[in-house]
């Protein structure tokens, strides 16, 4: 009797196991659990949106900076063929380079978040780390090579003085510095003799003069700027010139102003690094969400 009962027992086969597995795969409860496991959390979705908006904001700022730089170059005719050789000395080129770099990196971040592209997101991370490294290196250079940087600043101011009439941007910068700091020239107002237009041997009406921004009171009747307020000042002695223009140079004044603004400069640099670190952490979280689920390049 026992033998017959054993013979009648159903035998399991591999086909039955396969059917059982397929049945489990089609189970609605199992499918629901799998979808819940793959579904990103609310925090992850929030981070993705923030990463996209952060990059979009800096993309717009980069495009705005780039547009200002290109507009400045076009307005002064620097992009014409015969003037491209001197393009490197124009301050607006800094706006072009900064805007191009920021917009390129931010665009890579935006597309990387939208397409879940690890390639673009890793490019973004590498670029931001490179920017942070350059900023840290620049800060260290400011601390270590202060004397050399002071000499480089003086050379840059001398270049601005020599090309005062040739480039509107440099003229605006020099006038603002001299007017704000109440100074004239590099070490004294006599430095303007090195300018070919203000030199006493120059043939023009500006010979033996200095810019109007050097005047003690450059405005006539309190509203209109008198461009001729400093004409012929270099003919005068120091005592007489002291009643018309500022005698002291701008190098010392600018150095003192920079030392006074050290706290604000450090705060601005810290805010910039914090913004970059925020964007970097957001993108790293997006990368961490993408890689386990199958990265797409």
Tell me the mean pLDDT in the region 31-38. Answer: 43
pLDDT at 38 over 80: no
Chain centroid offset of residue 139 CA: 15
pLDDT band at 3 (very low <50, low <70, confident <90, very high): very low
Measured CA to CA, the distance from residue 150 to residue 142 in angstroms comes to 10
On whether the CB atoms of residues 104 and 126 are closer than 8 A, the answer is: no
Residues 211/256/170/209 CA torsion (nearest 10 deg): 10
Measured CA to CA, the distance from residue 84 to residue 69 in angstroms comes to 15
On whether the CB atoms of residues 226 and 212 are closer than 8 A, the answer is: yes
Alpha carbon separation from 95 to 7, 77, 81, 98 (Å, rounded): 89, 16, 21, 5
Give the chain's mean pLDDT. 78
pLDDT at 36 over 60: no
The predicted structure's pLDDT at residue 76: 67
pLDDT band at 10 (very low <50, low <70, confident <90, very high): very low
Query: Strands 224-225 and 219-220, how do they pair?
Result: antiparallel
Question: What is the percentage of the chain residues whose pLDDT exceeds 70?
Answer: 78
Which CATH code is given to the segment(s) 149-259?
Answer: 1.10.1450.10
pTM score, whole prediction: 0.65
Lowest mean pLDDT among 69-83, 146-160, 167-181, 222-236: 69-83
pLDDT band at 232 (very low <50, low <70, confident <90, very high): confident
The burial class, CB within 10 Å (0-12 / 13-18 / 19+), for 44 is: middle
Residue with the two structure tokens 């600018």: 254
Tell me the mean pLDDT in the region 33-57. Answer: 76
Measured CA to CA, the distance from residue 216 to residue 294 in angstroms comes to 70
pLDDT band at 144 (very low <50, low <70, confident <90, very high): confident
pLDDT band at 39 (very low <50, low <70, confident <90, very high): low
Measured CA to CA, the distance from residue 84 to residue 82 in angstroms comes to 6
Measured CA to CA, the distance from residue 165 to residue 180 in angstroms comes to 20
152-197 confidence digits (pLDDT tens): 778 888 888 888 888 777 888 888 889 888 999 888 899 999 888 8
Question: What's 100-141 look like in SS3?
Answer: HHHHHHHHHHHHHHHHCEHHHHHHHHHHHHHHHHHHHHHHHH
Query: Nearest Cα to 230, choosing from 247, 218, 220?
Result: 218
pLDDT at 12 over 50: no
Measured CA to CA, the distance from residue 140 to residue 198 in angstroms comes to 39
Alpha carbon separation from 169 to 18, 200, 291 (Å, rounded): 79, 25, 49
262-287 confidence digits (pLDDT tens): 888 888 888 888 988 999 999 999 98
Domain ranges of the chain: 42-147+262-293, 149-259
Measured CA to CA, the distance from residue 148 to residue 252 in angstroms comes to 15
The predicted structure's pLDDT at residue 86: 54
On whether the CB atoms of residues 136 and 143 are closer than 8 A, the answer is: no
DSSP state of 42: H
């Amino acid at each position: 009797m026992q033998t017959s009962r054993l013979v009648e027992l159903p035998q399991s086969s591999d086909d039955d196991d396969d059917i059982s597995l397929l049945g489990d795969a089609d189970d609605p409860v199992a499918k629901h659990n799998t979808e819940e496991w793959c579904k990103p959390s609310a925090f992850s979705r929030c981070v993705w949106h923030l990463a996209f908006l952060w990059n979009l904001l800096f993309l717009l700022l980069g495009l705005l900076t780039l547009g200002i730089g290109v507009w400045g170059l076009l307005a002064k005719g620097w992009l014409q063929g015969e003037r491209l050789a001197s393009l490197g000395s124009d301050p607006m080129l800094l706006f072009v380079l900064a805007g191009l770099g920021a917009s390129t990196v931010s665009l890579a971040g935006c597309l990387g978040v939208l397409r879940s592209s690890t390639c673009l997101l890793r490019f973004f991370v590498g670029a931001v780390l490179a920017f942070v490294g350059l900023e840290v290196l620049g800060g260290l250079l400011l601390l270590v090579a202060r004397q050399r940087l002071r000499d480089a600043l003086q050379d840059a101011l001398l270049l601005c003085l020599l090309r005062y009439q040739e480039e509107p941007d440099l003229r605006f910068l020099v006038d603002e510095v001299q007017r704000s700091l109440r100074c004239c020239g590099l070490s004294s107002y006599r430095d303007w003799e090195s300018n070919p237009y203000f030199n006493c041997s120059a043939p023009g009406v500006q010979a033996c003069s200095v810019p109007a921004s050097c005047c003690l009171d450059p405005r006539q009747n309190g509203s209109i700027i008198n461009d001729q307020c400093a004409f012929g000042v270099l003919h005068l002695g120091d005592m007489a010139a002291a009643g018309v223009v500022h005698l002291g140079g701008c190098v010392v004044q600018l150095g003192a102003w920079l030392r006074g603004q050290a706290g604000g400069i450090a705060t601005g640099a810290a805010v910039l690094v914090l913004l970059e670190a925020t964007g970097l952490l957001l993108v790293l979280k997006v990368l961490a969400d993408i890689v386990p689920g199958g990265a797409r390049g």
